[in-house]
Structure formats: C-alpha cells, structure tokens
C-alpha cells in the first residue's frame, strides 16, 4: 500500500457501505474483515466521518438496523442515501411517482402521493425487477407526454456474498433505451451528492477522503467533486480496476481497516 494519499490536510472521511463495510446477502450480510473495528477506531479518535452510499434497497433506518444486527455501530442519521434526496426532489416538483423499488425503502417516501403516476422512481428493486413490474414502469413513461425517470444510482453491478449482482443501472439503461429518454440520476457519481454529504460533515472536499470499492462510481466521482479517493480491494473490486487509465484512485488499500490504521498511525506520528 502506498501512503502518498496521506497528509495533514485530511480532516474526515466519506465511507461507502456495500463492499466496504459489508457484503450484502438479501436481508442480512457479512461484515468485511476489520470494518467493524475500523469504524470503532474512527469514533475513538473522534475523526469526522459519514457514510455515502447508493444503497436503495432499504430506508436508512432499515439499513442501520440491518448493519447493527451484524455488529456495526452505525446510526441512520449518519448515512447519506439516494432515497431521501429523491423524495425531496419529488416534493419540490410535485411529482407523483410509480415506484420500481423494494418495499423496505418506501418509508423514505412517506407522504408522497403516488396515485395516477406521472413519473417513475427506481432503485435496486432486486426480485421486484420482474418483467411485469419493469413493464408497468415502461407504461407510465411511454404514455407520458413528458416522461420523467428518476433512478437512485446507475451502478452496473455490486457484490453480494454469493457473487456479483446486476445493479439498478442495468434496468435504468434498459428503460432509457425502450422509451428513448434520459434518466435523472440521484446519488453517486453526482458531485452534488458528495457535496451534500460533506455539508453534513462540515468539512470541505479538499480535506476529505472517499473510501469505496467502485473505482469509477466512488473514486473517480469523488475526485471530480474535489476529494481524494481510496479504492479498497474488497466488495466488487477486481484487479483490473487498478490498471484503468481513465480513473486512478489516490491510493489502493486491502480493506477499510488498513486505510484507517494507516491514517491514525500517520496522525499519531505527526502528533509526537
């Protein structure tokens, strides 16, 4: 591991969840080795950090509970997720969505009228991505004079414990193609999304490091938002991710714990 990303300007971290903290497995999951401890160490050292995820299979409360059940100490209010951003967008524009999502995320959209839909909001709906459901979303879009498709993330795939899984981006691109439209994306890699997470942390991009397992969606995107980015060799990571010429992370670490330890060692050495 190279330590060239380390310097005294680092004040905090944004952490991806899936593939960095844990590998998902349906309604449960398995912590990635060292990640529970890494988060403990950050808390003990009082380093500001926040979770910046494209997780759209569940609400923040649901996700925090799921992570709690497998040993993490993570609060719902520490998580930036696309669903609340999408909900805010629907309220601002008075849109009535058809939801192509999992039921577990719906509580983020409470109070939003979804009768007589005039737009589609999609997330990682997993088993709800049946032909019938995708076709219903298609019907809303193709029969609308001004079709609006809002997608929570545009990921290609992610890691579950039993292998890589196709992500919401695939179905979103499919609907774009069928309807001849462009979706609006909420979540990473939108720089505004990273910045909204940083606002909560009250630190500027130049003082923050993003840690993720998606070399483009986490690392490249965070760099575009003015941050540094570390790639972890966990989750969906593949060795070829380090050989890409279009995106180059500021550092590559074996896992989250290695990054946190390197940072704390560096900080302690400077303090001595």
Partner 1 sequence: MPNRTLLAGENAENSAPVMKADLKHLLPAFRALHKHTRMTRFCMALIDLSGTLHVDDQAQPGAVAAIDRLRQSGIPLRFVTNTTKESKRLIHQRLLNMGFHIKIDEIFTSLTAARKILEAKKWRPWFIVSDEAMEDFDGLPTENPNAVVIGLAPEKLNHENMNKAFDMIFNQGAHLVAIHKSRYYQTKHGLALGPGAFVTGLEYATDTKAQVVGKPDAAFFLSAIPGSLCTHKLNEIVMIGDDIRDDVGGALKAGLSAILVRTGKYKAGDEAKIEPSHPTFIANDIVEAVNYILEDEL
Which residues here bind partner 1, judged by CB under 8 A? Answer: 125-132, 134-135, 138-139, 142-143, 156-157, 163-167, 169-171, 173-180
Q: Cβ of residue 26: shortest distance to partner 1, in angstroms?
A: 12
**Nearer CB in complex with partner 1: 149/186:** 149
**Nearer CB in complex with partner 1: 218/250:** 218
**Dist CA 33 CA 22 (whole Å):** 8
Which residues are CB-neighbours of 242 under 8 A, at least 6 positions away?
A: 215, 231, 252
**Nearer CB in complex with partner 1: 39/183:** 183
Q: Cβ of residue 10: shortest distance to partner 1, in angstroms?
A: 33
Query: Hey, which residues does 5 pair with through a beta bridge?
Result: none
Q: Cβ of residue 265: shortest distance to partner 1, in angstroms?
A: 37
DSSP character at residue 32: P
Neighbours of 197 (CB within 10 A): 20
**Nearer CB in complex with partner 1: 94/163:** 163
**Nearer CB in complex with partner 1: 37/176:** 176
Q: Cβ of residue 122: shortest distance to partner 1, in angstroms?
A: 12
**Nearer CB in complex with partner 1: 92/132:** 132
In b/e form, how buried is each residue of 120-153, taking b as 16+ CB within 10 angstroms?
Answer: bbbbbbbebbeeebbebbbebbeebeebbbbbbb
To 5 degrees, how large is the angle CA 62–CA 67–CA 70?
130
Q: Cβ of residue 204: shortest distance to partner 1, in angstroms?
A: 34
Tracing tokens 């890409």 back to the chain, one arrives at: 244
Q: Cβ of residue 84: shortest distance to partner 1, in angstroms?
A: 25
Residue in 166, 47, 37, 187 with CA at minimum distance from that of residue 108: 187
């Amino acid at each position: 591991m190279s330590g060239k990303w380390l310097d005294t300007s680092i004040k905090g971290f944004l952490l991806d969840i899936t593939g960095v903290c844990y590998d998902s497995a349906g309604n449960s999951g398995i912590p990635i080795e060292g990640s529970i401890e890494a988060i403990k160490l950050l808390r003990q050292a009082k380093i500001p950090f926040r979770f910046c995820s494209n997780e759209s299979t569940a609400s923040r409360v649901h996700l925090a509970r799921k992570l709690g059940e497998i040993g993490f100490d993570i609060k719902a209010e520490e998580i930036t997720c696309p669903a609340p951003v999408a909900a805010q967008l629907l309220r601002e524009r008075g849109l009535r969505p058809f939801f192509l999502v999992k039921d577990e995320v719906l509580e983020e959209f409470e109070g939003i009228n979804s009768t007589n839909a005039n737009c589609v909001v999609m997330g990682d709906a997993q088993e709800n991505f049946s032909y019938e459901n995708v076709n219903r979303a298609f019907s809303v879009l193709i029969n609308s004079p001004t079709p609006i498709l809002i997608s929570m993330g545009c990921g290609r795939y992610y890691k579950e414990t039993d292998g890589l899984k196709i992500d919401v981006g695939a179905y979103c691109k499919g609907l774009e193609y069928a309807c001849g439209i462009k979706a609006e994306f909420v979540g990473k890699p939108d720089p505004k999304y990273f910045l909204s997470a940083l606002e909560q942390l009250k630190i500027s991009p130049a003082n923050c490091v993003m840690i993720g397992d998606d070399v483009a969606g986490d690392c490249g995107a965070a760099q575009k938002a003015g941050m540094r980015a570390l790639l972890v060799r966990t989750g969906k990571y593949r060795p070829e991710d380090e050989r890409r010429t279009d995106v180059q992370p500021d550092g590559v670490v074996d896992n989250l714990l290695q990054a946190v330890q390197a940072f704390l060692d560096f900080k302690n050495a400077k303090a001595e």
